[in-house]
Amino acid sequence: MSPKKSKKDDGAGQGDGEFAAEATRVHDELLARVGESAPEPRLSATRRAVELLGDPQRAYPVIHITGTNGKTSTSRMIESVLRAHGLRTGLMTSPHLVRLNERIVVDGEPISDERLVANWDDIQPYLTMVDTELEAAGEPTLTFFEALTALAFACFADAPADVVVLEVGMGGEWDSTNVADGQVAVFTPIALDHQARLGSTVEAIARTKAGIVKPAASVVSAAQLPEALAELQRAAELTESSLAVEGVAFGVESTTVAVGGQVVTIRGVAGRYEDLLLPLFGDHQAQNAAVAVAAVESFLGSGSQALDHDVLAEGLAAATSPGRLQIVANEPTILVDAAHNPHGARALAKAIDDYFQFGRVVAVLSVLADKDAAGIVRALSGTVDQFVVTQSGSDRSVDADELAAVAVGVVGAARVVVETDLVAALRTARDLADEAEGDEPGGVVVTGSITLVGDVLALSQAEGGLS
């Protein structure tokens, strides 16, 4: 898609800063388009864009992932295991936490500014052509995510990638990533989220997500509610695809808390793998790992050939999931977790209870306007002792006073503090955590929205960090 890469840049990594300003330009030009919170329910625009680009999404096999929670963690595990097998990988996830480059990963590293800019400038004339055609037809121009998807496909073709792990942006059937045909379709747990866009029931949401299943694909699914599973079974039957479901075809046999994460034993669809180190916290991450293993088995050996234990162990041990129960500071411990719906908040609460020993837990909370704030607070209320309500930098963030009123309605005024400034909120949360009584120290968890987690990660990466 673009001129030959220089030896100093293989397409991955952060680069030397020379192209940082140009990368900011790319981000600004993407942001000038309709944002991710208002996707267009269509494939035709993205399909036209990639057609003009020569269909780069057909240059490599694809593992396509959807679901409500756990998509990014599962995607990153799959990518890490594939890379351990010697494959040159591409990985597209969303949203990013700090930098746009995080969304387009080549061989385990965010794409460099140089390659991001080069590929964007290469495809820009073709995106302009599509915009012109759409305007002439009275349709909205390419959205942020539609343009970003075309960019990611071009970057992976340019790399070039041996295999791409592709996370949907929203839903599945009409998500712009669905112009690619996944040989393996992966489903993490499906629950209520984005109801205004995807439907008001789990069944309707699952039906939309099942749209990523392509003819004769291998379908791998986490354990699902019966109404969600029925939709996946229907999609598999209609496309003559195989279906492997957690708890039946594969699953977690055991998990034990370990330093820095857990040790898991997984029964895959083709083999059994004992004592694998997973450097992530929470039983839900062990379940994500089981889904990832089954997906890789389905891709590499059509689900009939066991993976090499040592290679699998290497891949899982190297897996990371930024912003998911990530420790960003100590004394007191500060965790960030991107739980942004009740299902994710319940998993977070269980993980804190099971994997950490805090004498007192304080949550720094911010929620976006289209989310179930009361449900999130309720899910955390049995684990969190005090809530420090604040606002992220997103213009979709609920006003701190409004969110506090919601929290007070769930847990009472005595457990809620308002600090509109994030730095002040973190300081207050630390002070409250330090009031823990007994032998166990207090801890802080920052949660409720991905944008809040991104803001805190940016603070932690700045000079001086969160000290």
pLDDT for 50-102, tens place per residue? 999 999 999 999 999 999 999 999 999 999 999 999 999 999 999 999 999 99
436 pLDDT band (50/70/90 cuts)? Answer: confident
Instruction: Tell whether 14 is covered by a domain.
Output: no
139 and 243 both lie in a single domain: yes
CB 69 within 8 A of CB 189: yes
Residue after which a domain boundary falls, among 317, 348, 373 = 317
Measured between alpha carbons, how far is residue 305 from residues 170, 218, 296 in Å? Answer: 32, 14, 10
Is residue 467, in this structure, part of any structural domain at all? Answer: no
d(CA 271, CA 279): 21
For residue 427, being part of any structural domain is answered with: yes
Q: Given 294, 317, 340, which residue is the final one in a domain?
A: 317
- CATH number at 281 reads 3.40.1190.10
Tell whether the model's pLDDT for residue 445 goes beyond 60. Answer: yes
Q: In 3-state terms, what secondary structure has residue 267?
A: strand
Structural domain count, the chain = 2
User: Could you tell me if 185 and 99 lie in one domain?
Assistant: yes
3-state secondary structure of 109: strand
Tell me how far apart the alpha carbons of residues 188 and 178 are, in angstroms, rounded to a whole number. Answer: 17
Q: Are residues 101 and 173 in the same domain?
A: yes
Judge whether 180 and 214 are in contact, CB under 8 Å: no
- Residue 2 belongs to some domain of the structure: no
Residue 431 in this model has a pLDDT that exceeds 80:
yes
CA dist., res. 398 & res. 387, Å (int): 15
- Residues, the chain: 467
Q: Are residues 203 and 134 in the same domain?
A: yes
User: 10: pLDDT confidence band, cut at 50, 70 and 90?
Assistant: very low
Choose among 213, 362, 229: nearest CA to 298: 213
pLDDT tens profile 271-320? 999 999 999 999 999 999 999 999 999 999 899 999 999 999 999 999 99
Of 271, 294, 317, the residue at which a domain comes to its end is 317
Summarize the confidence of residues 366-395 as an average pLDDT.
Answer: 95
In this structure, the answer to whether residues 249 and 340 fall within a common structural domain is no
pLDDT at 9: 45
> In this prediction, what percent of the chain has a pLDDT beyond 70?
94
Q: Which domain holds residue 392?
A: 326-461
Residue 423 sits in a domain whose CATH number is 3.90.190.20
Mean pLDDT of 108-131: 97
Report whether 359 contacts 353 (CB < 8 A). no
Asked whether residue 223 carries a pLDDT value surpassing 60, the answer given is: yes
Distance CA 58, CA 180 (A): 7
Spatial separation of the C-alpha atoms in residues 236 and 240, rounded to whole Å: 6
Same domain, 369 and 223: no
In this prediction, residue 196 carries a pLDDT of: 62
Burial of 301 per CB tally in 10 Å (0-12, 13-18, 19+): middle
**Pair 56, 157: CB distance under 8 Å:** yes
pLDDT at 2: 38
pLDDT score of 40 more than 90: no
Instruction: Please check whether residue 245 lies inside any domain of the structure.
Output: yes
Same domain membership, residue 337 and residue 295: no
DSSP string across 180-246: S--SEEEE----S--HHHH-SSHHHHHHHHGGG--TT-EEEE----HHHHHHHHHHHHHTT-EEEEB
Q: Residue 316 and residue 311: Cα distance in Å, rounded?
A: 9
**Residue 1: predicted pLDDT:** 40
324-344 confidence digits (pLDDT tens): 999 999 999 999 999 999 999
pLDDT at residue 6 above 90? no
Does residue 392 belong to any structural domain of this protein? yes
- Residues 304 and 366 both lie in one domain: no
Residues 261, 359 within the same domain? no
> Are residues 103 and 236 part of one domain?
yes
45, part of any domain:
yes
Q: Residues 307, 332: one domain?
A: no
Are 73 and 218 members of one domain? yes
**Is 149 a member of any domain?**
yes
